[in-house]
Amino acid sequence: MTTASANLNIMIKAARLAARGLMRDFGEVENLQVTSKSAGDFVSRADIKAEQIIRDTLTEARPTYGWLGEESEEVKGEDPTRRWIVDPLDGTTNFLHGMPHWAISIALEHKKQIVAAVIFDPVKDEMFTSEKGAGAWMNDRRLRVTNRRDMIEMVFATGIPFAGSPALPAHLKQTARVAPQCAGIRRWGAAALDLAYVAAGRYDGYWEMGLNPWDIAAGILLVKEAGGMVEPIAEGSDLMGRNGCIAANADAFAKFASTVRG
Ligand code: IPD
Ligand code: CA
């Protein structure tokens, strides 16, 4: 990849440090013969530990930046224009069930725009990185979204709302519109990787309702820097405001987005 900025190098370092502990814990989870409650507690401790490692690494290097992480209170920085947006373990349910599809997601926001992104899948040793204006990368390979235009040839990812979410009926209507028009829909369970895979040209597009900023912040930059588009499902709303998101290659975006939106 092109030369990484100091900030991106710090983000990569934080992701690698957290990944060491998570990989150890993932090995444990795979072997755990315990009740679902204690496995759940074990994973939530792993998640919190990973966030602490990332936070210590980032704040030691950049003490004035703000912080928004899944597992802790938001902290306003002395520098109000910059903040880290971090999901220490995206794909928690996969992790808990011993499924090797989860990632660490770290984004840097400057003046409300994401300017640097890291999504690290340590099981597959895939490090997705991006900086505004410098493209999107996976390890040393430059990423491009797909160039398919016909929905019937396209494979999409989505997230299905689970227990406690009132969004299921709306999601099922979206799926009922998309499914008959495409080559397949996947639900792999890690939003950050869903977006990284759109950037990598593995999926042609992705949509999901009600996501948090830490699920999508890094992935948004990856998709855009790989030549794709990302918008909130509710047109004109705030992409980072739990309004869900639609991502796809730029040629197919309009058709895909109008199918999802209905
Ligand atoms: C979840 C995953 C999942 C998505 C959920 C997210 P978590 O994040 O990204 O794919 O469907 O909406 O909350 O809880 O594993 O960090
Ligand atoms: Ca997440």
pLDDT, tens digit, 9 for 90 and up, residues 78-107? 999 999 999 999 999 999 999 999 999 999
How many domains does the chain fold into? 2
Nearest protein CA to atom 16 of ligand 1, as residue = 90
Work out the percent of the chain whose per-residue pLDDT is above 70: 98
Pairing of strands 113-121, 103-110: antiparallel
Per-residue model confidence (pLDDT) at position 71? 85
Q: What is the pLDDT of residue 199?
A: 98
pLDDT at 2: 67
> Residue 27 is part of which domain span?
6-142
CA distance 233 to 210: 9
- State the pLDDT at residue 41: 87
The Cα–Cα gap between 86 and 252 comes to: 30
Report d(CA 15, CA 55) in Å as an integer: 10
1 domain-assigned = no
Mean pLDDT of 126-155: 97
**Average pLDDT score over residue span 30-51:** 83
In a domain, 121, yes or no: yes
Q: Do 131 and 16 share a domain, yes or no?
A: yes
Distance of alpha carbon 87 from alpha carbon 51, whole angstroms: 8
Ligand positioned closest to the Cα atom of 95:
1
Q: Is 244 in the pocket of ligand 1 (CB under 6 A)?
A: no
Burial 65-78 (b: 16+ CB within 10 A, else e): bbbbbbbeeeeebe
Indicate whether 137 and 172 sit together in one domain.
Answer: no
Ligand 1 lined by 105 (C-beta under 6 Å): no
The mean pLDDT value of the chain amounts to 95
Where is the domain boundary, 142, 175, 208? 142
Q: Are residues 167 and 132 in the same domain?
A: no
d(CA 245, CA 220): 9
Q: Is the model's pLDDT at 30 over the cut of 90?
A: no
Atom of ligand 1 nearest to the CA of 212: 13
- With 0.95 as the threshold, say if the pTM is over it: yes
| Cβ(69) – ligand 1 distance below 6 Å | no
Do 252 and 235 fall into the same domain?
yes
Residue pair 116/8 in contact by the 8 Å Cβ criterion: yes
In short, whether 225's Cβ falls inside 6 Å of ligand 1 is no
pLDDT band per the 50, 70, 90 thresholds, residue 36: confident
Question: Of 70, 92, 206, which is best to mutate to test ligand 1, by the most ligand atoms within 8 angstroms of its C-beta?
Answer: 92
Write the CA distances from 116 to 9, 42, 136, 242, 243, integer angstroms.
Answer: 10, 31, 10, 21, 22
Ligand 1 close to Cβ of residue 90 (< 6 A) = yes
> In this structure, are 123 and 166 located in the same domain?
no
Q: Whose CA is nearest to atom 2 of ligand 1?
A: 190
**Confidence (pLDDT) at 1:** 62
Walk across the sheet containing 136-138 and list its strands: 66-69, 82-90, 103-110, 113-121, 126-131, 136-138, 141-142
Ligand 1 near 213 CB (within 6 A):
no
pLDDT class of 181 with cuts at 50, 70, 90: very high
The mean per-residue pLDDT over the stretch 112-136 comes to: 98
| Chain segment 2-26, per-residue pLDDT in tens | 689 999 999 999 999 999 999 999 9
* Cα 45 from Cα 62, distance rounded (Å): 25
CATH code assigned at 110: 3.30.540.10
Least confident of 31-45, 57-71, 111-125, 181-195: 31-45
Ligand 1 lined by 25 (C-beta under 6 Å):
no
> Do residues 168 and 129 share a domain?
no
pLDDT at residue number 33: 64
Atom number, ligand 1, closest to the C-alpha of residue 160: 11
Nearest to 12, CA basis, from 85, 81, 100, 107: 107
94 lies in the same domain as 24: yes
Task: Could you list the beta-strand ranges (E) of the chain.
Answer: 66-69, 82-90, 103-110, 113-121, 126-131, 136-138, 141-142, 155-158, 184-186, 205-208, 228-231, 245-249
211 C-beta closer than 6 A to ligand 1: yes
Any bridge partners for residue 137, and if so which?
A: 129, 142
CA distances from 63 to 83, 184, 261 (A): 11, 45, 41
> 166: which 2 tokens?
């009132």
> Is residue 206 predicted with pLDDT exceeding 70?
yes
